[in-house]
Amino acid sequence: MNIRAVIFDWAGTMVDFGCMAPVEALVTAFADEGITLGEADARRDMGRSKRDHVDAILHYASVSAAWTDAKGAPPRPADGERIYRALEPLMEAAATKCATLIPGAADLASRLAGLRVRIGSGTGYTRQMMSGILPRAAAQGYAPQVVVCSGETPSGRPAPLMTWKALIELDAWPAWTCVKVDDAAVGIEEGRSAGCWTIGVAASGNGVGLSLEDYLALPEPDRVRRVAGAAKQLKAAGADYVVDTIADLEPVLADISARVGRGERPTRG
């Protein structure tokens, strides 16, 4: 194995099939302000730090208009800060509740560890939001060597800093021997900027946005259509590869390992 490290995202990639927790928490936080936030708007900037995510939502034309109608004035920076403070405990509770590993995650991590591939992770969650996820994931067999959380680098995604921080702590270099795996376009952009190979995860992530049960209940044509749409977004963000779920990752990692062994580097247009 010529891959030195793999940096995994959390929600929608390794835990929380469908990336459901952030949507639940965001919808609740905005409802508490008297604003109805649609799921599509809650998912639109998924993957960013939650503070940046709140600000992005407040700038959507439909949300800004609804806010102005309800409050008598457009949203201000102080409003974003207040929503974020209320969001943090909501996000912690929802993320803990949804911290079930995506099928195949624990087996993959175990096999990578057996191959001496270092395992790191990055997330748009703060350390507080991760406080319930980490022990639950560990109890299910997944405990990455490094966890980098939102707010622990000067800039969040799509900046490469969280991935670079993880690589530094893992002593894994050069970046072109490492892989970033994420279900959100902004996470793919992060990995590309860091100089890593990037793998998008389509079916279990934010792009499809369904729980495992609802995803499996879809008629096959609908399932294929929705996964294809999510994959298209990840490819447009520059993903070197796209898979359905983490359970499909090993053949792709083997291919990347072979390419690294030949001296190839990820293509950057």
Beta carbons of 75 and 67 less than 8 angstroms apart: yes
Tell the residue number behind the tokens 């969650």, with chain if given: 125
Exposed, middle or buried, 247 (CB in 10 Å: 0-12/13-18/19+)?
middle
d(CA 203, CA 211): 10
Active site residue 171: no
DSSP classification of residue 247: G
Beta carbons of 206 and 187 less than 8 angstroms apart: no
d(CA 209, CA 261): 36
**Annotated catalytic residue: which of 16, 41, 45, 50?**
50
Instruction: Write out 188-241 in H/E/C secondary structure.
Output: HHHHHHHCCEEEEECCCCCCCCCCHHHHHHCCHHHHHHHHHHHHHHHHHCCCCE
Instruction: Kindly state the tokens that stand for 180.
Output: 């970033």
Percent helix, strand and coil across the chain, each rounded to 5? 50, 10, 40
Active site residue 165: no
**Annotated catalytic residue: which of 9, 16, 41, 52?**
9
For strands 118-122 and 146-148, give the pairing.
parallel
Show which residues are catalytic: 9, 50
